Amino acid sequence: MDIFQAITGRRSIRKYKPAPVEPAKIKQVLNMARLAPSWKNMQCWRFLVLTGSGPRGALAGAFPDDNPGKKALVSAPCIIVVCADPGESGVENGIEYYVADTALAFDHLCLAAHGLGLGTCWMGWFDEGEIKRALDIPEGIRVVGITPLGYPDQSPNPRPRKELAQIAFCEKWDNPYQ
């Protein structure tokens, strides 16, 4: 699969087969995340991989019941908690770049997973404090997102995207890029 197929074909997957993910594939997606660019190459990201059933209940409890991905947190064979140490990134123009750094790594992970036939779903709607307590994550670390990882048990249609002319401008703001 080339990079264009990976970007075009990736979907948020919220239903997984119970088959475990091979440890080599988990390692491979983490290694692809590790190659993302970051503020001053400081690589503030951290990943907590959960393959056991231990803290799953407590983890799911940190997500509202109407979060559409909540069930996958219990059923997926693997969960990756994507965290950041903000002290290893920068703040410029009021932008806290640890979020950008970690988002880039997270997207690398999701695309690499898709390339290996695995599904992911970035989940950001949760109670961070509850997650940190459930997983014993240290004080200064932020939880940026969480994804299930596993073999998809659904093939969702593409979600709509804005037209290019709505989001890209040519030479002058508001002059649609055609």
Ligand X SMILES: Cc1cc2nc3c(=O)[nH]c(=O)nc-3n(C[C@H](O)[C@H](O)[C@H](O)COP(=O)(O)O)c2cc1C
Binding site for ligand X (CB under 6 A): 11-12, 14, 67-69, 121-125, 156, 159
Distance separating alpha carbons of residues 66 and 125, to the nearest angstrom? 10
- Minimal distance, residue 22 CB to ligand X, in Å: 24
Kindly tell me which of 17 and 125 has the beta carbon lying closer to ligand X.
Answer: 125
Kindly tell me which of 77 and 148 has the beta carbon lying closer to ligand X.
Answer: 148
Let me know: does 49 contact 25? Beta carbons within 8 Å: no
Kindly tell me which of 104 and 116 has the beta carbon lying closer to ligand X.
Answer: 104
- Minimal distance, residue 119 CB to ligand X, in Å: 10
- Minimal distance, residue 62 CB to ligand X, in Å: 11
Among 23, 53, 55, 59, residue whose Cα is nearest residue 131: 59
- Minimal distance, residue 24 CB to ligand X, in Å: 25
90 burial class (0-12, 13-18, 19+ CB within 10 angstroms)? middle
Kindly tell me which of 7 and 170 has the beta carbon lying closer to ligand X.
Answer: 7
Distance separating alpha carbons of residues 25 and 120, to the nearest angstrom? 13
Q: What is the DSSP letter of 86?
A: G
